[in-house]
Amino acid sequence: MEEKKITSENEEMLNIKNLVVHYETDEALVKAINGIDLVIKHGKAHGLVGETGAGKTTTALSILNLVPDPPGRIVSGEITLDGEKLIAELPLTNEEREKLEAEGKLPPCAPAKTEREFEHIRGDKVAMIFQDPMTALNPVMTVGDQIAESIRLHQGLDRAAAAERAKEMLELVGIPGIRANEYPHQFSGGMKQRVIISMALACNPRLLIADEPTTALDVTIQAQVLDLMRELRDKFDMALLMITHDLGIIAEMCDEVSVMYAGRIVEHGTLEDIFDNTSHPYTQGLFNSIPNIEDRKSDLKPIRGLMPDPANLPAGCAFCPRCDYATERCAVEKPEKIWLSDTHCVECHLYQQGDTAKKL
């Protein structure tokens, strides 16, 4: 396996700055992502937690420039992968910038690579595992051919050599290489997800994006797949963006966590920050909603109400209508990012600059 050298001096694998993504339909402007920052260091695992519609998957798709356009549009922001700009802000003169700021608009951005260049990045430097292994595979191609496809494309191996590599990859994920000639329907759900993982890892990516990789699987199979992912991550020293709604998986797999709500990262920190010093009321609500397997007598304290309609977000903090701590200020003013420590930040009016974390 050919080692890809870390090309940049800095230690950041991925840097997302102030990303804004909208879906524009005839009926509404859906604000899916409203200015998020996210940094993943080389070889680190970063968890992205949130509920349906929080913008987790759109974040992942933005990195690969796969947001369906139309109706989706990356409105502003910058995405840097291993020192290379993928999405860049358009250059503006100071005058233009001031004018935009005065109008309250964000500087526009555009892909900094051509579609052809993106094709080289996808599957090679960055790979993605999708939630549903049943629909992510081509039913009329053998799994071996599907794995070999990306190897041939990115590494320029000939057909026979690629097929050989595909078998090796299958064996790496615990499937006998001889099964490379079989079709997806001959595999069970857990096996299909392994095939997809082997496909994603075939070109030794530096960043793996896993979007709910085990949600469709049974718990004992989920345990196998998570063990495998952890093992392979250590082996290949790749960075991981783990998208999930399951805080249990985050606790097992990740180094850092970002909690998303209505297109914002409302709390971010290390595992200790998030699990031991839970500071945002939404994060606290998430923890209280999970049945605690260690303490069955405790009552579930659900978050009341529903996630706001992303086409019609509240003027102030998006969580305000459901928040037990909300004040008048929360209804009108969007909270800014406040750093509670070097690693822990939160967007909530309960805190002021200079505050440290307080367990809610």
Partner 1 sequence: MSNTTENRDILLEVRNLKKYFKRSDGYLHAVDDVSFTLERGKTLGIVGESGCGKSTTGRAILRLTEPTSGEVLFEGIDVTKLNKEEMRKMRTEMQIIFQDPFASLDPRQTVSQAIEEPLRLNGIIKDKKERFARVMELMETVGLAERLVNTYPHELDGGRRQRIGIARALAMNPKFIICDEPVSALDVSIQAQILNLMKKIQRDMGLTYIFVTHDLSVINHFADEIAVMYLGRMVEKAPTEELFNNPLHPYTKALLSAIPVPSIHRKRERITLQGEVGSPINPKPQCRFAGRCPNATEACFASEPPLVEVSKDHFVACHLCK
Residues 29-68 that bind partner 1 (CB under 8 A): 51-52
User: Which CB sits closer to partner 1, 114 or 220?
Assistant: 220
306 binds partner 1 (CB under 8 A): yes
Peptide bond into 70 cis (omega under 30): yes
H-run or E-run covering 258: strand 256-261
CA distance linking residue 341 with residue 41, whole number of Å: 18
CB of 57 vs partner 1, minimal distance in Å: 14
Half-sphere CA count of 18, side-chain side, radius 13 A: 12
Closest separation in Å from C-beta 14 to partner 1: 24
User: Contact with partner 1 (CB under 8 A): which of 191, 195, 197, 348?
Assistant: 191
Cα distances (Å, whole numbers) of residue 116 to 65, 76, 112, 120, 240: 12, 22, 12, 7, 24
The answer for 263, left when phi > 0, alpha when psi is -120 to 50, beta otherwise, is left
5 counts as binding partner 1 under rule CB under 8 A:
no
Judge contact between 187 and 173, C-beta under 8 A: no
Q: Is 114 an interacting residue with respect to partner 1 (CB under 8 A)?
A: no
- Binding residues for partner 1, rule CB under 8 A, total 46
Subset of residues 198 to 227 that bind partner 1, contact rule: CB under 8 A: 218-224, 226-227
Near partner 1 in 124-143, by CB under 8 A:
none
Pick from 288, 313, 331, 355 the residue near partner 1 by CB under 8 A.
Answer: 288
The yes or no reply on residue 328 touching partner 1 (CB under 8 A) is no
- Nearest approach, Cβ of residue 132 and partner 1 (Å): 14
* 83 versus 248: smaller Cβ distance to partner 1: 248
Instruction: Give the count of beta carbons closer than 10 Å to the beta carbon of residue 200.
Output: 25
Q: Does 120 bind partner 1 (CB under 8 A)?
A: no
79 is an interface residue for partner 1 by CB under 8 A: no
Residue 310 in contact with partner 1, rule: CB under 8 A: no
| Ordered alpha helix ranges (H), the chain | 56-63, 94-102, 115-121, 143-155, 159-172, 189-201, 219-236, 247-253, 271-276, 281-289, 328-332
Q: Please state the closest distance from residue 138 (CB atom) to partner 1, in A.
A: 22
Quick one: which segment of 68-76, 235-243, 296-304, 334-342 binds partner 1 (CB under 8 A)? 296-304
Q: Which stretch binds partner 1 (CB under 8 A): 64-72, 200-208, 286-294, 339-347?
A: 286-294
Burial class (CB in 10 A: 0-12, 13-18, 19+), 201: buried
If one asks whether residue 318 binds partner 1 (CB under 8 A), the answer comes out as no
Query: Is 237 or 276 the residue whose CB approaches partner 1 more closely?
Result: 276
Residues near 151 by beta carbon (within 8 Å), at least 6 away in sequence: 157, 162, 165, 166, 202, 203
Complex with partner 1: residue 69 or 309, whichever CB lies closer: 309
Residues found near partner 1 in the complex (CB under 8 A): 51-52, 188-191, 218-224, 226-227, 245-252, 271-272, 275-276, 285-294, 296, 299-304, 306-307
